[in-house]
Structure 1
Amino acid sequence: MNEWKTEVPSHLFNSFYINGAWIKGSLENAREVVSPATGKAIFAAPMADPSQMDAAIAAAKHSFESGAWRAMSPQKRSLLMHRLADRLSERLSLAAKIWTAQVGAPITLANRLAPLAVLRLRYFADLAASFPFETERSTQRGHAKVILEPIGAAALIIPWNAALPILITKLGAALAAGCTCIVKSSPDSPLDAMLLAQCAHETGFPPGVINVVLADASVSSQLVASHDVPKVSFTGSAETGAAIASTVATRMGRFTLELGGKPAAILLEDADIENTMATLQQFSMPFSGQFCFSQSRLLVPRSREEEFVGAFVNKISDLQVGDPWDESTQIGPVLNERQFNRIMTYIEDSQVDGAEILCGGKPGAKPKGNYIEPTVIRRVSPRSKIAREEVFGPVVTVHTYDTVEEAIEISNSTDFGLSGTVFGNSETAVNVARRLRTGQVGINGMELTPSVPFGGYKMSGVGREGGPEGVAAFLETKAIILPP
């Protein structure tokens, strides 16, 4: 289904947005964007060359130093950000189609989640006008002003799976802080950021405040290594995040990393089965499990194992697998053949280790595309690869426990600590949540909200995005100590 392409301004397919202008890229070093649903290329996207990356960095640096955005009043920044949200809200239907076309998100899911981008942008626009950028404190001899200042030009490196909402989370916080930005999209989903750039261009942002480029690994490393980019915000794999941290640290740059996850849903003895299953059907493998917050481990008390697991398998088995453009589809394809093979290897290896597949475990019954049936596996050792590593696919493992202490230990047993849920008596569930080594925990449900911080412990990253903490990640602190 390529009708969506006629709705996209043609220059978004072959240009970068640098210093307030559209710069045409060369197709000599292009990257094909392939539909996960058909395995066919849908368009070719140019990759920036080193000079174009240099131009984007220079534009962001010059714009910051000129004060065009940094020195603007927070109230005026807020107004422009709201106008940007207005422009984006007019294109939400197209944004959802782009999401489905590039990475195979079911269109119903994309239509439901695309508005989150506008919601998040408006949240940060409001925060820009109310954030306490300057406060006073008493000292022994007088008082001090504590001033929070924007770091400078920031690199925002965006993943493929939820490009627009993640971009807005980073960009909204950076703009609210007063930073200028270089957005580096994933080659698998370049159009989301280009559409946002079109909205920014129409809004009338000062040149160089928002720059958008697409680049391969070598040119992207140029962005990460630049001394003119004092802040890097990255979402992606733990391996790439560690490499970025190492590079940025050598120049004492600042970085925020939102990396992988292995979230666990802990069902307590008194969990309400109807509410729990409704939540898990939605959040255990959304977008074929290709969200980092997917609740991919199910921890159930042994005394209610058959009841809980049976109900969960029934819910998962009801999920409709199919063409992501079909509005009835709930499970679409995974991103590409490499990811398909990786997920199937995890499933096959688990059987060698003695695990039991309760449903799924096979390729989807489609002649083309990277489809995998929604899969639930039990009798899995907490120490096995599938239980400890991020599969990033439509796979949930089931683990039984005898005591709450054991459930907490299993939940904390991986190298990740990004997200989790606890179901049961609210007071007891909160006490369990306090002991989980993870950055965000939902009690009897989950919510995707911009007002609270999101990020992880351990290998799940460094720093937080969302809420005031997300803005603070783009600020430096200065103390001016004054006499009486």
Structure 2
Amino acid sequence: MSTVSEQHITYDRLFIDGAWSAPAGDARITIVSPSTEEEIGSVPDGTEADIDVAVSAARRAFDAPGGWSSWEPEARGEVLERFAVALDARQEEGARRTSIQNGMPISIARAFEGPFPGMVTRYYAALANAQVREEVRPGLLGGSTRVRRTPIGVVAGIVPWNFPQAITFLKLAPLLAAGCTVVLKPSPETVLGAYTIAEAAEEAGVPAGVINIVQGGREVGAYLVQHPGVDKVAFTGSTEAGRKIGEVCGRLLRPVTLELGGKSAAIVLDDGDLAGNIDAVFGSMLINNGQTCWLNSRILAPRSRYDDVVATLAGLASGVTIGDATEDATQIGPLVSARQRDRVEGYIAKGKAEGARVVAGGGRPDRDAGFFVQPTVFADVDPNSTIAREEIFGPVLSVIPYDTEDEAIAISNSSEFGLGGTVWTQDQERGLAVARRVQTGTIGINHYVNDPVAPFGGVKASGLGRELGPEGMSAFQATQTIYVDPPQLG
């Protein structure tokens, strides 16, 4: 069924209906290390026929008498606790698999990809237990009604390659706690971590059909989105793909959550201290080699301190350790693929051609192999230029000057995106006042970290709906009203 070694990981089956099933086709996905450009694994390439089988399994697990949707939250919570324990036991291997597939530095993978699945699974199990599932409301006309929260049904979960395990559990943990079942489609670039999830589910005794995993490309994902057996779509990926999925779901009147792209701004106020918060600066602007949707890639600096901000960021970018993603000392690893490297290099060339000034990076590091790009900082960036408007998804920062606080907020809000952002100041009240004026779904003051208790998502072209927090579980629930105790009319 599988062979797993330090050098090569191979699977021959798909995880469907609680069992390891032979795929319908014989095509395979080959995984290449972005650090070495060597083949490190292969898995079956799923087909539409595999999706049909997986959706049918999820449908049975949801609809059957005594099925997952009818379990009490406490009973589901017991299964989810076992699942979390099994996930925790695989933290190191899960982190390693992400690192070898997408170039995420292993230190970052251990901090996020490893612990997050178990942590968020426990959070939602507890939240489901505490949630009021049926509320009685006195009527204005007399009598009363009951309002119930019910699981929405079979979910299509489509996950990208940049934080594959963490983003999977933005969807998987709340939908399972709510009583839904799922067909998960991981990205072809990062399929190996999905197998650790399947193995943990099997060990934990998650009922057959509740979790089904079929990897594949865009065509398989498109087929899953419009499948008649699916009740809800939860997608994380590019804005371009999200628009297409939104159009399909709109036509089908199918609920959808879309967590899409970003071009977030870091607003440095005149009292902001970047040098004294350099770890937080790195974490909000360059984490995961710049392959992060909420990354603060536009840095808005007051003209009075512009040279100081540019020098700080240039020093940061020039001083990081670039290396193989699996090495403990690495701060910046390779991009996920040669195609992604070409895309980022195209934007760097565009920035130069449009007149921005490179103050750090701008090329490739001196390495024999791997899809590496130097962390690059542009100064003197026009806020209407290409590198200031479009999502690059790589380690490229644009430093934009401003004269007044109002101008900084206007530049921040001029983007078509609205996913993340930061404000840098030593006056928290001032920072809060600025943050409240920024058109974005999330924003931090002197740092940026997604906390599981708080809703995450975007506005404008950054998406629809929210993940994490109680709002993240509500996205997988429907509301039913029952009219009881008829009013006395007359």
TM over 0.5: yes
Of residues 474, 477, 480, the one that matches 2:476 is 474
What residue number does 1:79 align with?
Answer: 78
Distance in 1 (alpha carbons) for counterparts of 2:58 and 2:389 = 40
Q: 453, 463, 471: which is aligned to 2:455? A: 453
Aligned residue pairs, count? 480
CA distance in 2, matches of 1:476, 1:434: 31
Name the counterpart of 2:402: 401
Matched, 1:115 2:102: no
Aligned-partner residue type, residue 432 of structure 2: V
CA distance in 2, matches of 1:104, 1:297: 23
Q: How does 1:142-157 map to 2 (within 5 A)?
A: 142-157=143-158
Identity, in percent, stands at 39
Question: 1:457 is aligned with what amino acid?
Answer: V
Amino acid at match of 2:329: S
Q: Which residue of 1 aligns with 2:134?
A: 134
Aligned: 1:267 with 2:268: yes
Q: Which amino acid aligns with 1:74?
A: P
Matches of 1:128 and 1:360 in 2, distance apart?
A: 48
Point out the more displaced range, 26-35 or 116-125.
26-35
Q: How do 1:67-466 residues align onto structure 2 when only pairs under 5 Å count?
A: 67-113=66-112, 114-139=114-139, 140-424=141-425, 425-466=427-468
Shift of 1:27: 7.0
- Displacement of 1:55 in angstroms is 0.5
Distance across 1 between alignment mates of 2:341 and 2:174? 34
Matched residue SS, 1:70: helix
The CA deviation string for residues 212-262 of structure 1, in whole angstroms up to 9 with x for no partner, is 111222232221111210100000011111111111222111100000011
* Higher mean displacement: 418-427 or 19-28: 19-28
Q: Structure 1 counterpart of 2:189, which letter?
A: D
> Which whole-Å CA distance do the structure 1 matches of 2:302 and 2:156 have between them?
45
Partners of 1:410 and 1:360 lie apart in 2 by 25
Structure 1 unaligned segments of length 5 or more: list them: none
Aligned partners of 2:479, 2:329: CA distance in 1, in Å? Answer: 50
**Is the CA contact (8 Å cut-off) linking 1:61 and 1:228 kept in structure 2?**
yes
The Cα offsets for residues 325-372 of structure 1, whole Å up to 9 and x where unpaired, read as: 221110000011111111111111111111000100101211111101
- The reply on whether 1:22 has 2:20 as its aligned counterpart is yes
Q: Does the C-alpha gap of structure 1 residues 88 and 357 become closer, same or farther in structure 2, counting only changes over 3 Å?
A: same
**Aligned AA for 1:380?**
V
CA contact (8 A) 1:281 1:312 kept: no
d(CA) in 1 for partners of 2:356, 2:315: 19
- Closer, same or farther: CA 273–97 of 1 in aligned 2, 3 Å: closer
Distance in 1 between residues matched to 2:324 and 2:227, nearest whole Å: 42
Look up the match of 2:58: 60
State the one-letter code of the partner of 2:412.
S
Look up the equivalent residue of 2:74 and give its one-letter code.
Q
Which residues of structure 2 form unaligned runs of 5+? Answer: none
1:119: Cα distance to partner? 1.5
Q: Deviations over 1:56-85 (max 9, x none)?
A: 000001110014211111111112111101
Structure 1: how far apart are the matches of 2:469 and 2:437? 22
Per the TM alignment, residue 272 of structure 1 is displaced from its structure 2 partner at its CA by 2.9
The verdict on how the C-alpha distance between 1:216 and 1:447 changes in structure 2, with shifts beyond 3 A counting, is closer
Quote the offset at 1:180 in angstroms: 0.5
Listed one character per residue, the Cα deviations across residues 17-52 of structure 1 (whole Å, up to 9, x for unaligned) are 111110123673112111111222222221122221
Amino acid at match of 2:160: P
Amino acid in the other structure paired with 1:75: E
CA gap of 1:453–1:327, structure 2 versus 1, over 3 A, is: same
Amino acid at match of 2:122: R
Q: Which amino acid aligns with 2:18?
A: G
Residue 9 of structure 1 deviates from its aligned partner by 11
Deviations 1:117-136 (A, max 9, x none): 22112111211211222212
Asked if 1 retains the 8 angstrom alpha-carbon contact of 2:8 and 2:39, the reply is no
CA RMSD of aligned residues (A): 1.6
CA contact (8 A) 1:388 1:413 kept: no
Q: How far does residue 181 in structure 1 lie from its aligned partner after superposition?
A: 0.6
Q: Report if aligned partners of 1:276, 1:423 keep a CA contact under 8 Å in 2.
A: no
Q: For the residues of structure 2 that align with 1:44 and 1:278, how far apart are their CA atoms? A: 36
Q: Does 1:33 align with 2:48?
A: no
Runs of 4+ in structure 1 deviating by more than 4 angstroms, as ranges, are 7-10
3-state SS, counterpart of residue 128 of structure 1: helix
The amino acid of 2:471's aligned partner reads: E
Structure 1: distance between partners of 2:484 and 2:25: 58
- Report the TM-score, using the length of structure 1 for normalisation: 0.96
Indicate if the aligned counterparts of 2:283 and 2:448 stay in contact, CA closer than 8 A: no
Give the Cα–Cα distance (whole angstroms) in 2 for the partners of residues 415 and 248 of structure 1: 22
Equivalent AA in structure 2 for residue 285 of structure 1: L
Change (3 A) 1:253 1:187: same
> What is the identity, as a one-letter code, of the residue corresponding to 2:262?
G
The Cα of 1:379 is off from its aligned counterpart by: 0.9
Q: CA deviation at 1:299?
A: 0.8
Q: Which amino acid aligns with 2:128?
A: A
